[in-house]
Amino acid sequence: MGRFHRHTDGSVHEHDHRDVGDHTGYTQTGTERVSVLENILAENDRIADRNRADFAGAGVTTVNLMSSPGAGKTSLLKRTITSLEGRLRLGILEGDIATSLDADELGGLGAPVSLVNTSAGFGGECHLDATMVRSGLGRLPLDQLDLLIIENVGNLVCPAEFDVGQHARAMVYAITEGEEKPLKYPVMFHACEVVVVNKLDLLAHLDFDLDHFLANLRTVNPTARVIQLSARSGEGMAEWCDWLVEIRDRTAVAGAAGAHPRPHNAALTG
């Protein structure tokens, strides 16, 4: 195991030695080494479990929607609200760093929208955690919803690390982002059950190699469902909505059969 620590002069070193008195025990100075072995995100995961229990109690299926900034989450949600009308009762929880721009854009389309500004959470500028999601749930009529979609903060790293109590993770990838993204952000691409490949209307104008992208995606996530879509033209919306109905049916059946199993905390196996 490589070890890192910071010296008082501010420099960071990596060491490969083992310290004396490795785990539990007393050192010469009378200092006591106490073994803790607690998950750093244990508190987040407890709150995520409470969210999950509330979703189960209200009978609502929850999807955590992630992407890099500007890939098209809000545009996709705008179309989703109208496309699902009459099929599923949809609610949206909008995670935004500091503005209400996305929430404003989604308001008035017929679905309840709850805004959570993440900069209120300390150090949480780059992702939604379970507590932030919980803080926005009170403003949604959960009992009257079938499906809740959480628009996470645009970021391909941090959101994948935080369980918020969702039933499924999905992401939007835009073809303007280049073919190598799955290899650069493998944890995010691995964590998602669905990858929406968006901005397909631009395909003719870019030298984007779709097959190359799909091959890269397959190496980090062989089982991801890929939905090719354009939030601009509406192409592919039917398949996206079908998946939402499907995940809704799947979790509703699991809910009826008993409590939802708690997924592993980590994105890789979660």
Partner 1 sequence: MHELSLCQAIADTVSERAEGQRVDRVEVRIGHFRQVVPDSLLFSWELITDGTELAGCELVIDHVPAVISCQACGQESTLDMPILLCTGCQSSDVRLVSGEELLIASIDRTGERVS
Ligand X SMILES: Nc1nc2c(ncn2[C@@H]2O[C@H](COP(=O)(O)OP(=O)(O)OP(=O)(O)O)[C@@H](O)[C@H]2O)c(=O)[nH]1
Reading the block at residue 163, the tokens are: 């369980």
* CA count, 13 A, side-chain hemisphere, 48: 24
Nearer to partner 1, 76 or 171 (CB): 171
131 contact, one of Mg ion, partner 1, ligand X, none, CB 5-8 Å limit per kind: none
Amino acid identity of residue 227, one-letter, is I
What are the residue ranges of helices labelled H in 59-180?
A: 73-83, 101-106, 130-137
Site for partner 1 in 100-119 (CB under 8 A): none
Out of 98, 120, 183, 206, name the contact with partner 1 by CB under 8 A.
183
Tell me the closest approach of the beta carbon of residue 134 to partner 1, in angstroms.
15
DSSP 117: E
Dist. CA 193–CA 5, nearest whole Å: 36
Q: Could you tell me if 168 and 63 are in contact, meaning their C-beta atoms sit under 8 angstroms apart? A: yes
The verdict on 214 binding partner 1 (CB under 8 A) reads no
67 contact, one of partner 1, ligand X, Mg ion, none, CB 5-8 Å limit per kind: ligand X
Site for ligand X in 98-127 (CB under 6 A): 102
Q: Could you tell me if 84 and 64 are in contact, meaning their C-beta atoms sit under 8 angstroms apart? A: no
Q: How far is CA 97 from the centre of its chain?
A: 15
Q: Could you tell me if 116 and 132 are in contact, meaning their C-beta atoms sit under 8 angstroms apart? A: yes
The verdict on 30 binding partner 1 (CB under 8 A) reads yes
Q: Greatest CA separation found in the chain?
A: 71
Nearer to Mg ion, 105 or 239 (CB): 105
The verdict on 51 binding ligand X (CB under 6 A) reads no
Binding site for ligand X (CB under 6 A): 67, 69-75, 102, 154, 198-199, 201-202, 230-232
Binding site for partner 1 (CB under 8 A): 1-6, 12, 23-24, 27, 29-44, 121-127, 129, 155, 157-158, 160-162, 183, 186-187, 190, 219-220, 222, 265-266, 268-269
